[in-house]
Every structure is written in structure tokens, then in C-alpha cells.
Structure 1
Amino acid sequence: MIHRIEPDGVFGLPELVSQVSVPAGLGLAFISGQVAWDEEGRVVGEGDHTAQAAQVARRIDRLLDALGAQRQDIVKETVYVVDHEPHLVPGILGALHGSPPPSSTLVGVAKLFAPEFLIEVECVVALPDGKQGFQR
């Protein structure tokens, strides 16, 4: 069985994508690609990679909270970056990472699903012992 979680306060498109999927018995949760939407679905930080990364981090924090997890529970992330340049990496990863940082892959891409988005991040989370990903 797979549980799908759509926490309050995290704008999404539940008819198209689940924010979080938690397969029973694996102790893992999968967070769908997060972009720089605010709670109302407005773009935050248009044109600014670091500002968008910070908003994505806030969204991920809310999703982690719904799972009873924290940033240090992220075991793998994939970061997609439009118009990637090496000098952007510290600002982007600095906004996203807790300590210690997770295993991470950064991929430069031509575009994401809408032109205003510069960053998208998906994560795999190890659920803390005894947690099943159902806190709200």
C-alpha cells in the first residue's frame, strides 16, 4: 500500500501530482519535485536562483514536518537548475542543505514545466524510527 500525503499550507496540484508518497513498510518517503510556489500558488523569487532555492527549502521543510522528519533525514536529493552556472551552486545548495548535507545530484536543464521556475528539487527521506509519515 502507498499512502499519498497532501499537507495543508503547501500549494500543489493534487489532481496531477502527489506531494509525498510513502510506501508501507519501507521506512522511506518520496517528495515530488518542489518549485518556488508560495501557499497561494504564486511564484517566489522570479529570476533569482537563490531566492527560489530558499522557497523550495521552506516547502520541503513543511513536507518534512508533515512526515515527522527533518532535513537531516533526507538521504538523497536531485536538484534541477535552469541556466546552471557553477557560481550559482553555493547559493542554491546553501539554501537547501541542513547539516550534514544529503547525497545530492545537481542537473542543469534547459527548462522546467513553466518558464518562471529556475529550481526544482525532489527528495528521498528516511522516516525516523517509529514514524509512518502520517503526521498533520
Structure 2
Amino acid sequence: MPVTLMNPEGMMKPDVYRKVAVATGSRQVHIAGQVAYDADGQLVARGDLAGQVAQAYRNVAIALAAAGATFNDVVRLTIYVVDWKHERMPDFLAGIEQVSKELNIVPAPASLIGVSVLFEPGVLVEIEATAVVD
């Protein structure tokens, strides 16, 4: 396995991700921002942050698999959420929980960035991923 995830001593230990990823593989996989579209291009879970987070993660998993990778290979996630407020954290985490066992999500280092709007009305979340594989 080319990726080791850790939380260094002396830093807060978050529940949902690791702060450091060390990768020793030689092939990088960069996944463009994935949103809550299904295979037919229809927006899934309109108005539902948890549902859109889950679908966006599913789409990241599909893209990773196409490149021969899984969430075990992810070294970095960047997550953009429209109109982010800390009060939305339970819905955000509920979306991750919906798919965590289904996708075997490993909590890689992640940045959650609040934005005022994404590229299309109704899209609430976009997730980018970087993975390293042998």
C-alpha cells in the first residue's frame, strides 16, 4: 500500500479525516471536481446536502476505479460546499456516513471550503481527489 495516513502527536485529532498522508507510489491520479450527478447527468438529492455529499463521493469512487485506484490510495480531498456554516456539519457528515461502508472510505487529509456558488444552481458540493498508486 503506497499511502500511510496519520495524525501527528500534539495536534487535534479530528474524527473524520487524517492530517497527513505519506505516499510512496509512483503514479498520481488527479480526479476533477465531482458533484451529485448520476450517470444520466441528472442532479441527485436537490436541496439535500447529505444526499449530494454521498453521490459526489460515489462519483469520486467511480473515477478512482477507472484509474485503478480506491479511497485507500487517496492522499488529498478538497471539498467545496455552497453557503457553508458550521451548523451544516451534521448534514455533511451524514452524507459521508451514508457511503462510508459502501465505498470503504479512508479519511484522507481534506480541506472543506465554503463557497457562495458552484458552477450550476442546485449543486451544493464538489469534491476533488488526488491519489497515489504503485
Q: Are 2:52 and 2:95, in contact at CA under 8 Å, matched by a contact in 1? A: no
**Number of the residue aligned with 1:4:** none
Q: Give runs of ≥4 in structure 1 deviating > 2 Å.
A: 87-100
- Counterpart residue number, 2:115: 109
Higher relative contact order (CA 8 A, sep 6+): 2
After TM superposition, give the deviation of residue 95 of structure 1 in Å.
Answer: 3.5
SS of 2:110's equivalent in the other structure is strand
Question: Which piece of structure 1 moves more, 89-98 or 49-58?
Answer: 89-98
37-46 or 88-97: bigger deviation: 88-97
- CA offsets per residue over residues 55-88 of structure 1, 9 Å max, x none? 0011111111112211121100110000112132
Number of aligned residues: 104
* 3-state SS, counterpart of residue 56 of structure 2: helix
Give TM-score scaled by structure 1 length: 0.69
Q: Is 1:121 paired with 2:131?
A: no
For 1:29 and 1:55, the matched residues in 2 are separated by 20
Unaligned runs of 5+ in 2: 1-24
Q: Answer 1 or 2: which has greater helix percent.
A: 2
Counterpart in the other structure of 1:77: 77
Q: Separation in 1 of the partners of 2:76 and 2:124?
A: 20
CA–CA separation in structure 2 for the residues paired with 1:46 and 1:76: 26
Structural RMSD (CA): 1.9
Q: SS of 2:65's equivalent?
A: helix
Q: Alpha carbons of 1:89 and 1:81: their partners in 2 closer, same or farther (altered >3 Å)?
A: same
Q: Which runs of 5+ in 1 are unaligned?
A: 1-24, 130-136
